[in-house]
Structure 1
Amino acid sequence: MTSLWHATHQPRADRAHSLEPLPDRTDLVVVGAGITGLTTALLARRAGLEVLLLEARSIGAAATGNSTAKVSLLQGTVLSGIRRHHDQEVVDAYVRSNTDGRDLLTGLMEELGVSYQRETAYTYATTDQGLRSLEQEYAAAVGAGLPMRWTDRTELPYDVAGTIALDGQLQVHPMELLEALASAFEDAGGRLVEGVRVVKVGKTETVVHTTVGDVRADKVVMTTGAPTLDRAGHFARVVAARSYALSFALPDEAAVPHGMYLSADQPSRSIRWTPSEQGRLLLVGGNGHDVGRDGHTDRRVQQLVDWTREHWGEVSLTHQWSAQDYTAENLLPIVQKLPGGAEVWQASGFQKWGFTNGPASALALLAAVTGEPEPSGAARSAGASPECATSATRRWRSRRSAGT
């Protein structure tokens, strides 16, 4: 299954490992060219580090290029889930971090000329149980300072029991974004190599062993989704989940909702729109499950098709695909140094919200690999002006220009 994003984006063909050998050593090796790896690599290069970015397949081949690409602080019922396991201070910190990630990404998209749509994000319920989940999510979000609102109006072609909304969130074509980040990284002097798999990293010395040779580095950052170096018991700490997405052309574009919707009830339903050469397409996702727990995944795809046709009528399926992401046992992203003497860092466990958690993790990883305090210029509260979004990258660019 090929995602709409991969089908409508023509990647560059000149990043193959055969173009030239890998360097003997470098300051930083970043493994994985999704949203987290590319953002980390770009920021680190702008901070003055020599950076090698390695991708086993091609940019966006995993979760990022197969997502629904919502950049939102309203994340279904994630905040209330965190609140059930932690105190409000943890929820507050999560929201601040995701705000920084969203605003950093917004600033990069504006700087690099990446188009995006600013829309309202909605979490909605169709049952009494879902309505109770909405109440808990609303309380957790408002407690963290988000300007949430209740509404009884949606663009959905079916009744809902309640809806919470957060204005001013974003949606994007993920492959266009990744290509822009990759080009900016290369223009800054970084090197991105596709088709090279990292098979091992030393535990005492930071030597990266790949399918085409070894590279010595001062530090390594792993942004591969699933930790490929299982040195911290990740097999027992994260759960892999797969979900599905489809795009449809509708006879009447006016029937395609403008907002970004996610159900509080199960089975999950994710809805958004995207521009295309065919006009506005409807994206429908959901029906997720733990990896390995369903041997008939084609039925889940067909259920989404049937559900969409039930509510939107005669629609034409254009693309179908799936993505895999990871959730930590404490529901919080994992950004940590792995055990051992080697300087190896890992980012994972984004719970399907990598377009805010990924850039937020990049800021934390940047602080780790440069030894500098974590950049704090990105907006620290919801509703801050968009101009704040570029402050983190401005800081590192100015340091690079000054040669410091």
Structure 2
Amino acid sequence: MAEPKELPQFPEPYWRDNIDFPSFPKLEESIKADVGIVGGGIVGITAAYLLSKQNVKVALIDAGVILNGTTGHTTAKITAQHDIIYDEFIKHFGEDKTKLYFHAQMEAKAFIEKTIQELNIDCDFSEQDAVIYTNSDEYITQLENEKKAYDQLDIEGELTDSVSLQVPHKKALIMKNQAQFHPLKFLKVLAEESMKNGALIFENTTAIDVEYNKHPAIITREGHRIVCRYIIEASHFPFYDGQGFYPTRMYAERAYALAIKAKKKFPGGMYISAETPTRSLRSAMLDGEEVWIIVGEKHKTGQGKSTIEHYQALLDFAEEHLGIEEVLYRWSTQDLTTLDKLPYIGRVSEAEEAVFVATGFRKWGMSNGIVAAKILTDLISEKNSPYADLYTPSRFQADPSLRKFVRTNADVAKHLIKGKLEFTDNNIKALSADEATVTRINGKRTGVYKDKEDKYHAVDTTCTHMGCEVEWNSGERTWDCPCHGSRFSYTGEVMEGPAKRPLEQVDLEK
């Protein structure tokens, strides 16, 4: 019998390995710029590149290091096939708006191709067909209806009973002429080109607020200001709400990924299952060898079973259907979904003329991130964008948004109350190394993690955003909020918003 394959001990995304990233300083003083950008992922870096080409003075900051957030934990498919979505969009938004959505995605793909050629970027770009497959009779009708939507929208596609992927399936819907790439290799060059054009980039610089005087200013945690004409919030979750009420209009989900060497050769294409738990598959290259990237197991952040079990489920799937030779990497990602599944791209609220936001890409940030950068660049440059009205954050569709608004916020209330009423009095002395528990210390709900060196790290589990109680994420060694998706390190530092302040540390000696 073959030895069971083990997961890597620590999460690390495939994308960041073997790339020589430049490092950037921390912002140590107040500065001025035409446009201040918060967030060093695909939206922020692409917007910096586009604006700097127009001789706009750009200052970009990131709370951590650039390209280490959601963009660094992606599947990196450049596709307009965003699950089974077009039949639904036609019903909710109409044919014209749905066609705009598709065209926006394909323009993003064309932009990536053109930029690769112009800058001679080696980023493993390849054309691939995108495929939704199902092995469930329940989803066959949905795929048939989606193919009708493709035909209505003039999308080149094919409904088939068989594809090359050797995973059980009864029906598959193919979208032709899509692509995949290595996003960090691509964006690294765009960051370098932006700096050549005069853009300033700062790392380990956290934005906490926006204030207005004559011009808007980004306020950092250290109290420095970036005074500018316009601000772009490209920080995944908006750090500044501007009365847009984003925590009530989006929910956070986590998904998990493995990169493996498999016994079977990848057949070409990019695949995603229609049914849940989701299985998304594509290939990539590592040191001249083919690897499989397998993603799935989504769930609301801070909710559900132990997160390490999701990795194990992907491992079991890969072993059963592909045969594993080696597990190379594991990582997870967090995606934000809006009430109507369309991203919010534009002015943060109707009252704000100078602050722009891009958020809520679901799992499809590669194409939507480029779309966002282009829309925001057009708005700042006072050019007409054919897509601005479609994505505007000020929209609120009664169907299906109103029902989802009620359901999403009822879920938040449930977890807020549940955390407050929960009684726990676990003994921290029973913890083994690399384990955590929730207990009560001096009457306070406290999270305690015991590290590899048997040192204890204790934090108040009350999320600093809106007071929900965080839960332990064993797969990532983080404290995650089930209400709005904030995530904290085991020492309490903010890893993902909307929270701005760290969890309060608890002294176990008292």
Q: TM-score, normalised by structure 1?
A: 0.87
| Paired position in structure 1 for 2:187 | 178
Equivalent position SS for 1:120: strand
Q: How far apart are the structure 1 equivalents of 2:174 and 2:207?
A: 42
Letter in 2 for 1:374: S
Q: Which of 366, 374, 380 pairs up with 1:363?
A: 374
Q: How far apart are the structure 1 equivalents of 2:70 and 2:237?
A: 10
Q: How far apart are the structure 2 equivalents of 1:79 and 1:60?
A: 30
| Paired position in structure 1 for 2:25 | 16
**Is the alpha carbon distance of 1:300 and 1:341 closer, same or farther for their aligned partners in structure 2, counting shifts above 3 Å?**
closer
Larger Rg: 2
Q: In the TM superposition, what is the alpha-carbon distance from 1:158 to its structure 2 partner? A: 2.8
Q: Is the 8 A contact 2:33 2:228 kept in 1?
A: yes
Check if 1:257 corresponds to 2:257. Answer: no
Check if 1:235 corresponds to 2:244. Answer: no
Equivalent position SS for 1:315: strand
Letter in 2 for 1:360: V
Q: How far apart are the structure 1 equivalents of 2:192 and 2:376?
A: 21
Letter in 2 for 1:206: P
Q: Which of 23, 48, 56 pairs up with 1:49?
A: 56
Q: In the TM superposition, what is the alpha-carbon distance from 1:139 to its structure 2 partner? A: 2.0
Higher relative contact order (CA 8 A, sep 6+): 1
Q: Kindly provide the CA deviation profile for residues 333-388 of structure 1, in whole angstroms up to 9, marking residues without a partner as x.
A: 10121244561100111111111111111111011111122389xxxxxxxxxxxx
Q: Is the 8 A contact 1:91 1:140 kept in 2?
A: no
**Is the alpha carbon distance of 1:146 and 1:22 closer, same or farther for their aligned partners in structure 2, counting shifts above 3 Å?**
farther
| Paired position in structure 2 for 1:285 | 295
Q: Is the 8 A contact 2:26 2:203 kept in 1?
A: yes
| Paired position in structure 2 for 1:400 | none
Larger mean Cα displacement after TM superposition, 78-87 or 127-136:
78-87
Equivalent position SS for 1:146: coil
| Paired position in structure 1 for 2:475 | none
Q: Which of 312, 335, 339 pairs up with 1:329?
A: 339
Equivalent position SS for 2:228: strand
Computed over aligned residues only, the root mean square deviation of the Cα atoms, in angstroms, reads 1.8
**Is the alpha carbon distance of 1:80 and 1:59 closer, same or farther for their aligned partners in structure 2, counting shifts above 3 Å?**
farther
Equivalent position SS for 2:289: coil
Q: Is the 8 A contact 2:209 2:240 kept in 1?
A: yes
Q: How far apart are the structure 2 equivalents of 1:278 and 1:220?
A: 41
Q: In the TM superposition, what is the alpha-carbon distance from 1:148 to its structure 2 partner? A: 0.8
Check if 1:294 corresponds to 2:304. Answer: yes
Letter in 2 for 1:322: S
| Paired position in structure 2 for 1:382 | none
Higher helix share: 1
| Paired position in structure 2 for 1:192 | 201
Equivalent position SS for 1:240: strand
Q: Which of 52, 63, 70 pairs up with 1:63?
A: 70
Equivalent position SS for 1:271: strand
Q: In the TM superposition, what is the alpha-carbon distance from 1:33 to its structure 2 partner? A: 1.0
1:5-404 mapped onto 2 (5 Å cutoff): 5-13=15-23, 15-17=24-26, 21-22=28-29, 24-112=31-119, 113-115=121-123, 116-202=125-211, 205-212=215-222, 213-230=224-241, 231-251=243-263, 255-277=265-287, 279-339=289-349, 340-341=351-352, 343-374=354-385
Letter in 2 for 1:114: D
Q: In the TM superposition, what is the alpha-carbon distance from 1:22 to its structure 2 partner? A: 4.7
Q: Is the 8 A contact 1:284 1:304 kept in 2?
A: yes
Q: How far apart are the structure 2 equivalents of 1:110 and 1:118?
A: 14
Q: How far apart are the structure 2 equivalents of 1:47 and 1:142?
A: 39
Q: Is the 8 A contact 1:82 1:332 kept in 2?
A: no
Identical-residue share of aligned pairs (%): 25
Q: Is the 8 A contact 2:341 2:362 kept in 1?
A: yes
Q: Is the 8 A contact 1:249 1:278 kept in 2?
A: no
Q: Kindly provide the CA deviation profile for residues 247-293 of structure 1, in whole angstroms up to 9, marking residues without a partner as x.
A: 111245xx223110011111111000001116000111111111122
Letter in 1 for 2:137: D
**Is the alpha carbon distance of 1:369 and 1:160 closer, same or farther for their aligned partners in structure 2, counting shifts above 3 Å?**
same
Equivalent position SS for 2:281: strand
Q: Is the 8 A contact 1:98 1:356 kept in 2?
A: yes
Q: How far apart are the structure 2 equivalents of 1:85 and 1:240?
A: 22
Number of aligned residue pairs: 371
Q: Is the 8 A contact 1:366 1:374 kept in 2?
A: no
Equivalent position SS for 1:17: coil
Unaligned runs of 5+ in 1: 377-404
| Paired position in structure 1 for 2:453 | none
Equivalent position SS for 2:373: helix
Equivalent position SS for 2:50: helix
Equivalent position SS for 1:372: coil
Q: How far apart are the structure 2 equivalents of 1:274 and 1:67?
A: 13
